[in-house]
Structure 1
Amino acid sequence: MCILFIANKLRDDYPLIIAANRDEFYARPTAPSSFWKSHPHLLAGQDLEANGTWMGVTRNGNIAALTNVRDPHNINKNAVSRGELVANWLKQDPADIEGVAQAQYLATLEKTRHQYNGYNLLFGDTKGLRVYNNVNNSTHAIDTGVYGLSNADIVTAWPKVTQGVTALNDYVANKSTIDKEDLFDILRHDNKADDALLPDTGIGYEWEKALSSIFIQTEKYGTRTSTLLLVDKNNTLTWKERRFSDRGETLETRAFSFSI
């Protein structure tokens, strides 16, 4: 998962909206969203190479999503797969989603942070979310507002993060109803950042430019899926996942809806 946007507690009809893109090598084997046979309360796609996931939810409203921190000079090839962090939070006993469980999991993240390459983990439930960054060993609560998270910490305003936050904020503030296709459109923005605004993360100009858009498409790497997670005023959760080919064509859209 490389970018996600969150609109929290800004609308009465949809108090929680998350829109996210997963960017990955096209060759990496992946299963689309489904309820896992081993954990039937858990809805997520699955990375078939490391058996974790990048974003998921449970029937009782537990939520987690991951973005990697881009730092090519500090990569441990023997590090534990970061996708297990999402899966481990979601696999917990469905009854254990309140504050005590969140505090315990945060303590585990802090204790094990050096076992993983850099990451941001959004986790919690529909009542409360937080982001943990293992590089800074910092935690950021998701309060009322619109947030964006990419491959730096949550307070770093990369151009595509600012673009998505602005677009989502304008949308939730001005539209009388929420249209999921409009949210997917925000995730399809493919304009590149101006050279003067590009971050310098050590991957070179060509890659910085290619990765500077919300929707990414290169020869071997790009946006594989877009995912929407919405919770309405009746506590009904809607999950929609759209998968793309290496040419950016829509392959499939999967939709799930259930009461929390």
Structure 2
Amino acid sequence: MCIAVFLWQSHPLYPLLLFLNRDEYHKRATEALRWWEDGETMGGRDLVGGGTWLGCTRHGRLAFLTNFRETSSFPDAKSRGDLPLRYLQSQKSPAEFAEEIQEEVSLYNGFNLVVAHVLSKSMVYITNRPRHGDKLVTPVSPGIHVLSNANLDSPWPKCLRLREGFKQLLADNEGGEFPVKTMVEEVMTDTVKDQEPELPHVFTPETEYHLSSIFVDMLRPAGRYGTRSISALSIKSHGEVSFYERHLEQADDSWKEHTQHFVVQNQSFV
């Protein structure tokens, strides 16, 4: 189901810092982080639906997705992982893309989607499960945001823990280089769980309990489920991108990690 924390346009060194845990069934076929065949798009790939949960391009486009936690779903719904890919492979601005898909959001099960273009300092949040009175599309303001399986910045306890852990590391480093590995190893792997009164009460209390940690590992009726990968994406003010992924290998249940580096092309970050 995933959880992400990100810092947008409010750091002297990083226009964007993003950390995302992807939660999925261990048996679901997945491809690790790499450059895709088009040579422009980078990300992991869901080999069942063909899309991605997090990706970026050489030209400063970024998209990531989480599912919305709900008790019912449509078996014939379109694959949500196709939405980030469509944005990454388009030439539209975040706002233009959001407008394009508004008429079709009912064809998908519940989702949260963030699309951004770092060069133009534009980021929007799109959901087909808005809170009462909210819009489907909202510009994302500068600052720290957390996205899990409810609306953006919903105060679930795991989201508040993630925000505070991230905020503390930012404060400890006072605008300098951010300790990505520390964030991955100490915050994104946190297994602290919540007690029953604090849970969202969407699923059964037992299921909610196991889903209430930042790093998830549990058995569900359909098999082992939990955090399959931890991603860290940083973009510096001069355009240098570092995309780190620690992922669980399906073949031998071991954790592997690697990092891709590149510089955003064609425009400067002035």
Under a length normalisation based on structure 1, what TM-score does the superposition of the two structures give? 0.91
Instruction: Please give the residue correspondences for 1:38-53 in structure 2 after superposition, counting only pairs within 5 Å.
Output: 39-53=38-52
Match of 1:119 among 99, 108, 111: 111
After superposition, residues 1-260 of structure 1 pair within 5 angstroms as 2-37=2-37, 39-73=38-72, 75-92=73-90, 96=91, 101-126=93-118, 127-136=121-130, 137-176=135-174, 177-185=177-185, 186-201=187-202, 203-219=203-219, 220-244=224-248, 251-260=255-264
- 1:111–1:19: structure 2 CA closer, same or farther, 3 Å change rule? same
Distance 1:245 1:7 in 2: 29
Residues 108-129 of structure 1 show CA distances to partners (whole Å, capped at 9, x for unaligned) of: 2211011000000010122221
Q: Partners of 1:104 and 1:14 in 2: how far apart?
A: 25
**Over residues 233-252 of structure 1, what are the superposed CA-to-partner deviations in whole Å (9 max), with x where a residue is unaligned?**
21111100101358xx7521
CA distance in structure 1 between the aligned counterparts of 2:9 and 2:194, rounded to whole angstroms: 30
233 and 155 in structure 1: CA distance in 2 versus 1, 3 angstrom threshold: closer
Aligned equivalents of 1:190, 1:128: Cα separation in 2 = 33
Q: Which runs of 4+ in 1 moved over 3 A?
A: none
| Equivalent residue letter for 1:131 | Y
Which blocks of at least 5 consecutive residues in structure 1 are unaligned?
A: none
Deviation of 1:54 after TM superposition, in Å, equals 0.6
> 1:197 offset after TM fit, Å?
0.8
**Mapped contact 2:114–2:123 kept (Cα < 8 A):** yes
Amino acid aligned to 2:139:
A
* Deviation at residue 59 of structure 1 after TM alignment: 0.6
Range moving further from structure 2, 140-149 or 64-73: 140-149
How far apart are the structure 2 equivalents of 1:84 and 1:52? 5
**Would the aligned equivalents of 1:66 and 1:122 in 2 still touch at CA under 8 Å?**
yes
- Alpha-carbon separation, structure 1, partners of 2:53 and 2:34: 13
Q: 1:140-178: CA deviations, max 9, x gaps? A: 322221100000011421111111111111211221431
Paired with 1:227 and 1:12, the residues of 2 have a C-alpha distance of 22
**Equivalent-residue separation in structure 1 for 2:97 and 2:9 (angstroms):** 24
Q: Give the aligned residue type for 1:146.
A: I
The question of whether the paired residues in 1 share the 8 Å contact of 2:41 and 2:57 is answered with yes
Secondary structure of 2:166's partner? Answer: helix
For 1:144, the aligned partner's letter is P
Count of residues paired in the alignment: 249
DSSP 3-state at the match of 1:223: strand
* Percent identity over paired residues: 28
Q: Which runs of 5+ in 2 are unaligned?
A: 265-270
Give, in angstroms, the shift of residue 7 of structure 1: 1.1
Is the 1:7–1:168 contact (alpha carbons within 8 Å) kept by the matching residues of 2?
no
CA distances 1:14-46 after superposition (whole Å, capped 9, x unpaired): 231000000000000000011111x21000111
CA distance in 2, matches of 1:181, 1:250: 18
CA contact (8 A) 1:109 1:134 kept: no
**2:22 maps to amino acid:** R
Deviation at 1:4, TM superposition (A): 0.4
